[in-house]
């Protein structure tokens, strides 16, 4: 499916129901909202559906992305931070952390001794920090930036669209804190927490409790290896968090003394633990700083993030590696509706078109690679690529925005490739918002067939 859910407002339908009952405060907490939302949808009370957001990742071509971004009620990816932001890196020479301004990384990324630098990255699947290389650091232009201050004193300056790690996944700054502007003054309308550089796994109660309570229970040695520390340290923190093994588990050997293989001095250095968990820290203040130069990084890791000013932020995929051309099935032009077409071309014509696509993309890719070899920036070289080359965009809008988009673009009169995206988005909408979907008469079985 060309679409993937990135984030949706938690408990979205209940939130919309709560807002709809603003004139009936005694009943606002009522969790039964199905009848109410059906009434609102069927009678066109759309303001209620502006209270919840949904963000979807879309895999498409440059040609279709140009159509999608014309829907200006949506927000699209603009992940940027200022040049003085300190990026947590691991130097290849000694394996120690160093904090380098992103502007400096941008200016020196082609230097041989900078290419091997590793960045600290939060692995979303393992829920702990790791390291990864970078594909490119790039200048993203002068943009409106905001500075946030956390409860522990950490600060970062970024655009309002830049995403931060939260307990509910990555969310744009404006959603994390409910950012609103009063004149030229930025204000927060809700309390937000973001992930920061982290604490050793074994010191985090949640991580240690989960590791401790697996079935069958892990031994001290297994937990120690997962936390990259010693069994002595794990036993100490089990005691601190009151997670000690029961007499029965001790008898079964889960708390037995484990021998240390190798130099004991090396293990002594590992007692602090090298595997980190995110620490959740409250945003206390936001300030609008005006227009400043911004930068971003594309990280070579599936979790797509890095640590700036010891805060976990999302990375951009703006200049992702060139993907294979999207094989387009040619169609004949409808004589009456210029947005419509018909699958009635001859096999010979389709074969000619397929061969023309392959030859055109191979030639364009050759020119693109030559441009990069000559030192031409990717942002310039990509103009040589055909409109059928693949790209990824992130599209965020309110529930009302998505209803309008899907109704418009899922219509048979829309270009087929764009209609498939709208139908895929409709599938996600139906799964995530079943009450609203039912009120609109949207059934999942008739939404997206993958063709």
Q: Annotated catalytic sites, by residue?
A: 409
Q: Which residues contact 169 (CB under 8 A, 6 or more apart)?
A: 6, 7, 124
The closest alpha carbon to 286, from 169, 190, 396, 195, belongs to: 190
Q: What is the 3-state secondary structure (H, E, C) of 346-364?
A: CHHHHHHHHHHHHHHHHHH
Tell me which residue has tokens 């939404």: 447
Cβ partners under 8 Å of residue 98, min gap 6? 89, 90, 91
HSE value, Cβ hemisphere, 13 Å, CA-based, for 84:
6
> Three-class SS of residue 233?
helix
- Judge whether 306 and 170 are in contact, CB under 8 Å: no
3 state DSSP class of 300: coil
Among candidates 228, 232, 272, 289, which has minimal Cα distance to 255? 232
DSSP letter (8 states) at residue 143: E
Determine if the peptide bond prior to 216 is cis (ω within 30°). Answer: yes
Q: How many residues does the chain have?
A: 451
Q: What residues are paired with 297 via a beta bridge?
A: 137
Question: Would you tell me how many other CB atoms lie within 10 Å of the CB of residue 138?
Answer: 21
Is the dihedral angle over the CA atoms 206, 431, 166, 301 positive or is it negative?
positive
SS3 state at 109: coil
| E strands in 232-375 | 276-299, 305-308, 311-314, 332-333, 341-342
Q: 256-264, long-range: CB within 8 Å, 24+ apart, which pairs?
A: 256/219, 256/220, 257/231, 258/219, 258/220, 258/221, 258/224, 258/231, 260/230, 260/231
Q: In angstroms, rounded to a whole number, what is the distance separating the alpha carbons of residues 230 and 260?
A: 8
- According to DSSP, the residues that pair with 171 across neighbouring strands are 164
What number of CA atoms fall less than 13 Å from residue 261's CA on the CB side? Answer: 2
Backbone angles phi, psi at 135, to 5 degrees: -90, -40
Q: Which residue has the tokens 């990255």?
A: 121
On whether the CB atoms of residues 347 and 328 are closer than 8 A, the answer is no
């Amino acid at each position: 499916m060309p679409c993937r859910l990135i984030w949706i407002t938690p408990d979205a339908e209940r939130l919309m129901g709560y807002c709809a009952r603003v004139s009936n405060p005694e009943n606002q907490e009522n969790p039964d909202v199905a009848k109410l939302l059906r009434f609102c949808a069927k009678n066109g009370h759309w303001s209620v559906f502006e209270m919840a957001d949904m963000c979807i990742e879309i895999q498409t071509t440059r040609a279709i992305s140009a159509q999608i971004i014309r829907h200006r009620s949506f927000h699209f990816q603009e992940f940027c931070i200022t040049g003085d932001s300190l990026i947590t890196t691991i130097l290849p020479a000694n394996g120690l952390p160093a904090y380098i301004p992103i502007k400096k990384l941008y200016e020196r990324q082609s230097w041989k001794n900078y290419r091997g630098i590793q960045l600290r990255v939060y692995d979303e699947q393992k829920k702990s920090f790791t390291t990864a290389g970078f594909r490119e650091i790039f200048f993203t232009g002068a943009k409106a930036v905001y500075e946030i201050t956390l409860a522990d004193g950490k600060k970062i300056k970024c655009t309002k669209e830049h995403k931060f790690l939260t307990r509910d996944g990555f969310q744009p700054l404006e959603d994390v804190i409910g950012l609103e502007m009063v004149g030229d003054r930025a204000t927060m309308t809700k309390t937000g927490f973001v992930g920061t550089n982290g604490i050793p796994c074994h010191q985090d109660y949640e991580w240690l409790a989960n590791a401790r309570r697996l079935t069958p229970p892990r031994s001290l040695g297994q937990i120690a290896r997962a936390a990259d520390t010693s069994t002595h340290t794990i036993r100490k923190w089990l005691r601190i968090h009151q997670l000690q093994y029961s007499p029965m588990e001790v008898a079964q050997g889960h708390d037995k003394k484990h021998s240390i293989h190798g130099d004991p001095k090396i293990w002594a250095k590992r007692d602090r633990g090298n595997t980190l968990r995110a620490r959740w820290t409250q945003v206390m203040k936001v300030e609008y700083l005006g227009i400043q130069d911004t930068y971003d990084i594309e990280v070579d890791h599936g979790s797509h993030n890095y640590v700036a000013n010891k805060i976990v932020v999302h990375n951009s995929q703006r200049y992702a590696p060139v993907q294979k051309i999207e094989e387009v099935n040619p169609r004949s032009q409808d004589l009456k509706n210029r947005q419509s077409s018909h699958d009635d071309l001859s096999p010979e014509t389709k074969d000619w078109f397929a061969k023309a696509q392959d030859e055109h993309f191979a030639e364009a890719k050759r020119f693109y690679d030559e441009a990069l070899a000559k030192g031409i920036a990717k942002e310039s070289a990509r103009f040589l690529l055909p409109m059928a080359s693949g790209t990824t965009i992130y599209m965020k809008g309110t529930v009302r925005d998505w209803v309008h988009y899907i109704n418009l673009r899922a219509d048979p009169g829309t270009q087929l490739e764009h209609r498939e995206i709208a139908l895929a988005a409709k599938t996600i909408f139906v799964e995530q918002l079943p009450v609203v979907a039912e009120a609109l008469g949207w059934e999942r079985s008739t939404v997206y067939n993958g063709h």
